[in-house]
């Protein structure tokens, strides 16, 4: 009988050519040739002469990150634990935690989405406190600022928590407003580069007709959020039906931005920023908001039986666009995705749902890159502040199972157990 190692090796051998297409510099087909040319045109090497001066103010940075865990209990309920931590100047430490016990039949995508939203809400609570109290002038969030936004228009498919996405969207909009009012540089730094935002922008610049027929969306987002958006739009809880914009299986997909930059961007460097409006709001809910907004602008007031926007949607219409760029801080490093508000790139005239996307010059991002280079600590430490907060906030299994579970038992006065499937993996 062949070993599993031999079987895997044989499978890789059979698929070798297929696997190599994502690593080689040679473009495959017309679309990849255009993408390769686009990357080379919009990738700019970094050097001390190029980067220039840092931020105008001395950075006083706060870094926020969170962690969460889910455990299935023997009574058929699910227990969520989430925590968030902010580390800032002069030894500043802010922490917050929350826990939910969800009863009844809840499908896994909804459960995972609930945990992610709870964690993000805690992170945003700390971020808002940092800005409101004037504790610094730079705020770092782990993850993209933009990728979450389209999915927050969809309710959560869990009774009693349907409005959690709206709460998180409101927190984002509050943070965007406050950072602009207080002059705080807001940066979302994502290690994942699964999005096709840059590829779509480059292809739209060169071949708009081709780009329009490709799968769109910012996939630097958890799969459960995508599936829950599909479910919400279809009025279904199973997430298996296909929304025409979100999961068009008939549309070809672009390679991820991470793949494009791995194959065709040489050395340390930075892309031209893509200023993002409604490019990933390709779902029915967002289209409805935009259509209603157009009606309201034309009429300048809601009259007769005209449908009106909710206060949250009204705020979304005037929210600033988000700019995103990729940077490789050292040769051989993975690229980082950096999101910040459009005014950082000198475009305070752009609002989220008023345009699709546009490109800006990399020159406008150089002060941010200069700051990031100052916080770079090598291959393992892409950003010193986020690296430290990640290590401290990370929710290890031993903490959940040996510390938090006994606290739950004591507080409730019952010998609570995980279900059999969960207990198998706990020593």
Instruction: Quote the DSSP letter at residue 89.
Output: G
133 or 245: which carries more pLDDT confidence? Answer: 133
CA distance 321 to 339: 10
User: Quick one: what percent of the chain has pLDDT higher than 90?
Assistant: 69
Tell me: the pLDDT tens digits for 240-266?
333 333 444 445 678 999 999 999 999
Provide the pLDDT for residue 231.
45
Task: Convert the pLDDT of each residue in 71-123 to its tens digit.
Answer: 999 999 999 999 999 999 999 999 999 999 999 889 999 999 999 999 999 99
Identify the residue with better confidence: 363 or 216. 363
Alpha-carbon separation of residue 12 from 25, 122, 137, 256, 352 (angstroms): 20, 43, 50, 21, 44
pLDDT score at 247:
43
Domain ranges in the chain?
A: 50-393
Report how far residue 327's alpha carbon sits from residue 236's, in angstroms, rounded to the nearest whole number: 40
pLDDT for the residue numbered 205: 85
Give the mean model confidence (pLDDT) for residues 116-135.
98
Q: What is the mean pLDDT of residues 228-245?
A: 39
**What is residue 379's predicted lDDT score, i.e. its pLDDT?**
85
What pLDDT is recorded for position 380?
A: 85
Binning pLDDT at 50, 70 and 90, where does residue 239 land? very low
Q: DSSP class of residue 404?
A: I
Cβ contacts of 178 within 8 Å, gap of 6 or more: 128, 131, 132, 184
Helix (H, G, I), strand (E, B) or coil at 180: helix
Give the mean model confidence (pLDDT) for residues 179-202.
94
Q: What is the pLDDT of residues 134-148, one digit of tens each?
A: 999 999 999 999 999
Q: Taking residues 346-369, what's their average pLDDT?
A: 93
Give the H or E element holding residue 113: helix 108-132
Give the H/E segment covering residue 285.
helix 284-299
Hey, is 341 helix, strand or coil? strand
382 Cβ contact partners less than 8 Å away, ≥ 6 residues apart: 189, 191, 329, 333, 334, 336, 376
pLDDT of residue 307: 58
Amino acid 283: pLDDT: 53
- Burial zone of 116 (CB within 10 Å; 0-12 exposed, 13-18 middle, 19+ buried): buried
Confidence category of residue 324, pLDDT binned at 50, 70, 90:
very high
Confidence of residue 358 (pLDDT cuts 50, 70, 90): very high
Contact 58, 284 (CB under 8 A): no
> What DSSP letter does each residue of 31-83 carry, written as one string?
HHHHHHHHHHHHEEE--HHHH----SSPP-EEEEEEEEEEEEBTTS-EEEEEE
Greater model confidence, 370 or 354: 370
The mean pLDDT of the chain is 86
Q: How sure is the predictor about 425, in pLDDT bands with cuts at 50, 70 and 90?
A: confident
Mean pLDDT for the stretch of residues 330-356: 94
* Residue that wins the pLDDT comparison between 77 and 296: 77
Residue 199 CA to residue 309 CA, distance in Å, equals 33
Regarding predicted confidence, which is higher, 87 or 150? 87
Angstrom CA distances, 24 to 250, 261, 330, 361, stand at 26, 12, 21, 28
**What pLDDT is attached to residue 52?**
67
Q: What is the mean pLDDT of residues 47-53?
A: 72
Mean pLDDT of 304-308: 53
378: pLDDT strictly greater than 60: yes
């Amino acid at each position: 009988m062949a070993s599993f190692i031999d079987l895997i090796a044989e499978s890789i051998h059979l698929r070798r050519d297929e696997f190599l297409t994502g690593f080689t510099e040679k473009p495959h087909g017309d679309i990849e040739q255009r993408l390769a040319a686009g990357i080379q045109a919009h990738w700019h090497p970094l050097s001390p002469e190029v980067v220039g001066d840092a931020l105008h103010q001395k950075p006083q940075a706060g870094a926020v990150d969170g962690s969460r865990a889910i455990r299935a209990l023997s009574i058929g309920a699910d227990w969520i634990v989430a925590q968030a931590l902010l580390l800032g100047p002069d030894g500043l430490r802010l922490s917050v935690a929350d826990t939910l016990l969800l009863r009844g039949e809840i499908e896994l995508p909804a459960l995972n989405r609930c945990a992610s939203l709870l964690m993000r809400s805690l992170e945003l609570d700390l971020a808002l406190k940092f800005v409101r109290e004037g504790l610094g002038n730079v705020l770092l969030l782990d993850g993209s600022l933009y990728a979450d936004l389209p999915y927050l228009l969809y309710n959560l498919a869990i009774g009693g928590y349907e409005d959690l996405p709206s709460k998180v969207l409101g927190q984002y909009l509050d943070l965007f407003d406050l950072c602009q009012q207080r002059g705080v540089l807001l940066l979302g730094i994502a290690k994942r580069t699964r999005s096709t935002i840059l590829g779509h922008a480059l292809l739209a610049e060169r071949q708009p007709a081709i780009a329009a027929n490709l799968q769109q969306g910012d996939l630097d987002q958890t799969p459960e959020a995508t599936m829950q958006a599909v479910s919400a739009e279809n009025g279904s809880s199973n997430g298996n039906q296909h929304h025409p914009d979100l999961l068009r299986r008939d549309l070809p997909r672009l390679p991820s931005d991470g793949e494009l930059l791995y194959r065709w961007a040489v050395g340390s460097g930075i892309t031209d920023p893509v200023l993002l409006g409604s490019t990933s709001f390709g779902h029915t809910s967002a289209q409805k908001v935009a259509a209603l907004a157009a009606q309201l602008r034309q009429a300048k007031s809601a009259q007769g039986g005209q449908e009106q926007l909710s206060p949250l949607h009204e705020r979304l219409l005037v929210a600033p666009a988000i700019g995103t760029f990729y940077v490789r801080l050292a040769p051989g490093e993975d690229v980082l995705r950096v999101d910040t508000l459009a005014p950082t790139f000198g475009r305070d005239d752009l609002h989220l749902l008023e345009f699709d996307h546009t490109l800006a010059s990399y020159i406008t991002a150089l002060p941010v890159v200069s700051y990031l280079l100052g916080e770079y600590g090598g291959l393992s430490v892409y950003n010193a502040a986020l690296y430290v907060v990640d290590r401290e906030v990370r929710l290890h299994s031993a903490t959940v199972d040996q510390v938090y579970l006994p606290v739950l038992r004591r507080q409730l006065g019952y010998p609570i157990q995980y279900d059999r499937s969960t207990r198998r993996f706990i020593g």
